[in-house]
Chains A and B, each alone.
Chain A
Amino acid sequence: MTAAESSRLETTLALVLAGEIDSYTAPDLADLLAKYPDVDVVDLRDVSFIDSSGLRVLVEVHQQRNDADRTLTLRSPSPAVQRLLEISGVAKHLTVDS
């Protein structure tokens, strides 16, 4: 790596989630993502449960980031997240980094 290349430092802000995302906790997730608009990555490896209420928040934030010419990456989806992404048919529309 040359000095010229390394002088440009890029940072990625990741939000690491753990636990259950449902209609009770999804509003908290929406608040968190609104509070930290620079989050580019949501790490989902420790999400033990998610339903459509949680998926709805992720889709909405994905669309907001898209509108701002940015990308929200869903990183390391847990089996529960993977299952919902598959059956809901939205996986192909989102940016998922397994």
Chain B
Amino acid sequence: MTPHGASRSRAASVPDGDRLELRLPARPDVVGSARRAVHDYLTARGVPSAVVDDLQLVTSELVTNGILHGSPGAIGVVVGIDDRDAIELRVSNDGPGVLPPVSTWQAPEDLVVSGRGLGIVRQLVDDAEVVEADEATTVVCRRAWRRGAAA
């Protein structure tokens, strides 16, 4: 978690030209494509495989969530590495949000079968928030990663 507003806004500057931006039809068969694109983008920038694997899992959960709960339409995936070496991943879907506030995303302690994905996301990122704007719902996640440090 990054509780300090100042460091968060500073950390949010991802160079525009180095972002990966995908717009995919909201169909289950695109989930794998989204994961592979995020994998290739992060791997090409030297992100350790353990962190890449976690971000692939986050991508899979959020894209799936968007497909299941968003309006029919498109899923947007944007990933970048900011000037503080944090990975920022944004997954958006068309339509009004159906996501609960991030503070209520729990990793289930028992064998509750549904609603597990968002709790998993929360375990894998340092910071997540849900933004509803422009008739779309976007989950913005950040995962710190220092260049050269062990994963």
Binding site for B on A (CB under 8 A): 20, 22-24, 49, 51-53, 55-56, 59-60, 62-63, 79-80, 83-84, 87-90, 93
**B31, B111, B124: which contacts A87 (Cβ < 8 A)?**
B124
Chain A's interface: helix, strand, loop or mixed, by majority? Answer: helix
Inter-subunit contact A88/B56 (CB<8 Å)? no
**Once the chains bind, are B107 and A88 in contact (CB under 8 Å)?**
yes
CA distance A8 to B47 in the complex (A): 54
> Total number of A-B contacts with CB less than 8 angstroms?
68
Residues of B within 8 A of A24 (CB): 28-29, 31-32
Whether A23 contacts B107 in the complex (CB less than 8 A), given A56-B113, A88-B120, comes out as no
Contact between B114 and A56, CB atoms less than 8 A apart: yes
* CB-defined contacts of A52 to chain B, threshold 8 Å: 61, 64, 116-117, 120
10 additional A-B residue pairs with CB within 8 Å, beyond A22-B60, A23-B31:
A23-B64, A23-B67, A24-B29, A49-B57, A51-B61, A53-B64, A80-B53, A83-B54, A88-B107, A93-B111
Please report the C-alpha to C-alpha distance between residue A49 and residue B33 in the assembled complex, in whole angstroms. Answer: 13
Q: Are B119 and A88 in contact (CB under 8 A)?
A: yes
Q: Do B28 and A89 touch across chains, with their CB atoms under 8 A apart?
A: no
